[in-house]
């Protein structure tokens, strides 16, 4: 689905990839409804929109609250009359600790934002999207959604759930006007650690050659490119592409490689 003249909802629009997705969509002549739990971030995104700010509506909302998500939908319809697509980008990571040391409260927060927030958005908007001539749903999973990352086991589980939710939805909607894309970012330069309420790690990821980190703006370009071409899945970054191939070829060896690289971050 080409995004020009379309109305797209983006969650997590106040920073990182969500902000870059919002700005890129606006530059491609789309109208955007940016959602974030932090008003300050949304105001910064709106300021960066420049002469396209009239095509941007911002809403402060908690996507883990189903009623709040329903209000997002109502506000979107009041503001623009219809919606053509949603990009479920909002997400958090967990502290870099083993499952045994992870509090249930943290587990629930990660699952609520990453999985249930995505689910609520889909369930709320899907009936409307099915009524549009064409529509698109983009769900951001993670390289950790197909590859185990020690110290991010619950985060990975939440993103694996997003992966299968998206793939199942794709199959269910295969004969409709709604296209569905799942995205697997690798290492992207965002402030997800801070947004997750975590301190920045002080230890190096590994003693080997450091991973190349993709800019959030480049990641946004790859995602929108895949969206406009109705891609089934989008791998963001050479690390995601390599590990996707490696994991399919030899999952145990791939898991060992990631364990080695992430050893310096695993605190417990």
Told to judge if 155 belongs to the known catalytic residues of this protein, a careful annotator would answer yes
Strands 56-60 and 31-36: parallel
What pairs with residue 183 in β-bridges? 140, 234
Tokens representing 31 are 């109208």
Q: With beta carbons less than 8 A apart as the criterion, state whether 147 and 157 touch.
A: no
116, 155, 225, 232: which one is catalytic?
Answer: 155
- Termini Cα distance of the chain: 45
Q: Nearest-CA neighbor of 192 among 219, 169, 171, 170? A: 219
Buried b (16+ CB within 10 A) or exposed e, 26-61: bebebbbbbbbbeeebbeebbeebeebeeebbbbbb
Neighbours of 79 (CB within 10 A): 13
Q: Nearest-CA neighbor of 27 among 19, 37, 35? A: 19
Q: With beta carbons less than 8 A apart as the criterion, state whether 34 and 14 touch.
A: yes
Residue 95 and residue 106: Cα distance in Å, rounded?
9
Residue 74 and residue 93: Cα distance in Å, rounded?
29
Catalytically active residues, by annotation: 155
């Amino acid at each position: 689905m080409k995004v020009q003249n379309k109305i797209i909802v983006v969650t997590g629009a106040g920073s990182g990839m969500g902000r870059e997705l919002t700005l890129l969509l606006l530059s491609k002549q789309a109208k955007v409804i940016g959602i974030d739990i932090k008003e300050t971030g949304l105001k910064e995104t709106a300021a960066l929109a420049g002469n396209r700010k009239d095509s941007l509506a911002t809403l402060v909302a908690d996507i883990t609250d189903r009623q709040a998500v329903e209000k997002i939908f109502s506000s979107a319809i009041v503001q623009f009359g219809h919606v053509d697509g949603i990009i479920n980008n909002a997400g958090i990571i967990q502290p870099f600790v083993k499952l045994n040391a992870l509090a249930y409260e943290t587990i629930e927060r990660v699952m609520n934002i990453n999985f249930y927030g995505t689910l609520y958005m889909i369930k709320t908007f899907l009936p409307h999207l099915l009524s549009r001539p064409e529509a698109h749903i983009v769900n951001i999973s993670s390289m950790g959604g197909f590859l185990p990352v020690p110290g991010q086991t619950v985060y990975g589980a939440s993103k694996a759930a997003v992966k299968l939710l998206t793939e199942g939805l794709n199959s269910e909607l295969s004969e409709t006007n709604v296209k569905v894309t799942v995205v697997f970012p690798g290492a992207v330069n965002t402030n997800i650690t801070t947004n997750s309420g975590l301190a920045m790690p002080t230890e190096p990821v590994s003693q080997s050659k450091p991973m190349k980190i993709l800019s959030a703006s480049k990641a946004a370009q790859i995602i929108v490119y895949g969206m406009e071409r109705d891609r089934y899945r989008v791998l963001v970054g050479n690390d995601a592409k390599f590990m996707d191939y490696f994991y399919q070829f030899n999952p145990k060896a791939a898991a060992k490689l990631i364990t080695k690289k992430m050893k310096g971050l695993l605190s417990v």
